[in-house]
Amino acid sequence: MKRLIAVIALAGGVLGAGIGTTAWSAELTTIETQKTKDAVITLKSETAQWKPGKNTFVLEFTSPAGQPLDAGKVTLSTSMSMPGMAPMVAGATLSPDKVPGRYLGTIDFPDRGTRQVTVTWDGPAGKGSATFPVPVR
């Protein structure tokens, strides 16, 4: 009986640690990571994917070595080509977070479909751009 109680206590401890970790970081899931020569760009959100309607997300810049990268002025625009009509374009509203290289964004999509996402940056660490596909499901 003593052993059983010890096992239950241990399980409780592990569970408690798990919940603590979740509260700290697990609310954001990576949607996409894009590497360029100078920067690694990571797109994250609470929903783990973009959906039709309004989306909130986080955009993070790090150096190839994994250090936070102050990307300065950042833009994110999206385009989807559709047969027989002009490309559908949507831009994100971005604002710097308190952490260097971290930006909070919102973007609105009228429909599903894969977007070509273009991110540009211009700051102390240099300027650049990257384009990569992200599905809206």
Min separation Cβ 45 and Cu ion, Å: 20
Cβ closer to Cu ion: 88 or 104? 88
Cβ closer to Cu ion: 28 or 90? 90
Phi, psi angles (nearest 5°) of residue 21 = -65, -40
80 in contact with Cu ion (CB under 5 A): yes
Binding residue (CB under 5 A) for Cu ion from 28, 88, 104, 130: 88
Cβ closer to Cu ion: 88 or 134? 88
Cα dihedral value 18, 45, 43, 107, nearest 10: -170
Cβ closer to Cu ion: 91 or 113? 113
Min separation Cβ 109 and Cu ion, Å: 8
Tally of helices (H runs) and strands (E runs) in the chain: 1, 9
**Whole-number Å distance between alpha carbons of 83 and 80:** 10
Q: SS3 of 39, please? A: coil
Residues 101-120 that bind Cu ion (CB under 5 A): 111, 113
**Whole-number Å distance between alpha carbons of 133 and 125:** 25
Using CB under 5 A as the binding criterion, the count of chain residues that bind Cu ion stands at 5
Alpha helix ranges (H) inside the chain: 2-25
Contact residues: Cu ion, CB under 5 A: 80, 82, 88, 111, 113
